[in-house]
Amino acid sequence: MSSSYIMNLLASAVAVIVGIVIHESAHAAAAWALGDKTARSRGRVSLNPLNHIDPFGTVLLPLLMLAAGGPVFAFAKPVPVYLNNLKHPKRDEVLVSVAGPASNIALACLAAALMHATYGNLYTSMSFAVASQIMNFGATFIVVNLSLAFFNLIPIPPLDGSSIIVPFLNGKALNNYYRLQQYAMPILIIVLYLLPMWTGIDVIGRYFDVTVYPLAEWLLNFAIAGI
With 90 as the cut, is the pLDDT of residue 194 above it?
no
Q: Is the pLDDT of residue 196 over 90?
A: no
Domain ranges of the chain: 3-223
pTM of this structure: 0.88
pLDDT band at 170 (very low <50, low <70, confident <90, very high): confident
**How many Å from the N-terminal Cα to the C-terminal Cα in the chain?**
34
Distances (CA, A) of 170 to 31, 95, 164, 178, 208: 22, 18, 13, 11, 32
Q: Coil, helix or strand for 153?
A: coil
The C-alpha atoms of residue 63 and residue 61 are separated, in whole angstroms, by 5
pLDDT at residue 168 is higher than 90: no
What amino acid positions are annotated as catalytic residues?
Answer: 24
Residue 132 has pLDDT above 70, yes or no: yes
Q: Give the pLDDT confidence score for residue 36 in this predicted structure.
A: 95
Q: Report pLDDT for 216.
A: 96
Tell me the average pLDDT of the chain. Answer: 85
Mean pLDDT of 76-96: 90
pLDDT score recorded for residue 122: 78
Instruction: Provide mean pLDDT across the span 129-152.
Output: 91
pLDDT band at 120 (very low <50, low <70, confident <90, very high): confident
3-state helix, strand, coil in the chain (%, to 5): 75, 0, 25
Instruction: Supply the pLDDT for residue 70.
Output: 57
Q: Please compute the mean of the pLDDT values over residues 34-48 and round it to a whole number.
A: 93
- The pLDDT, as a whole number, for residue 128 is 83
Contact 185, 194 (CB under 8 A): no
Residue 30 has pLDDT above 90, yes or no: yes
In this prediction, residue 60 carries a pLDDT of 79
**Closest by Cα among 56, 69, 59, 61 to 193:** 69
Distance in angstroms (rounded) separating the CA atoms of residues 17 and 19:
5
pLDDT value for 200: 78
pLDDT range class, residue 164, cuts 50, 70, 90? confident
In this prediction, residue 67 carries a pLDDT of: 66
Average pLDDT over residues 153-173: 81
pLDDT digits 0-9 by tens, 57-81: 787 777 776 666 656 667 788 899 9
pLDDT at 150: 94
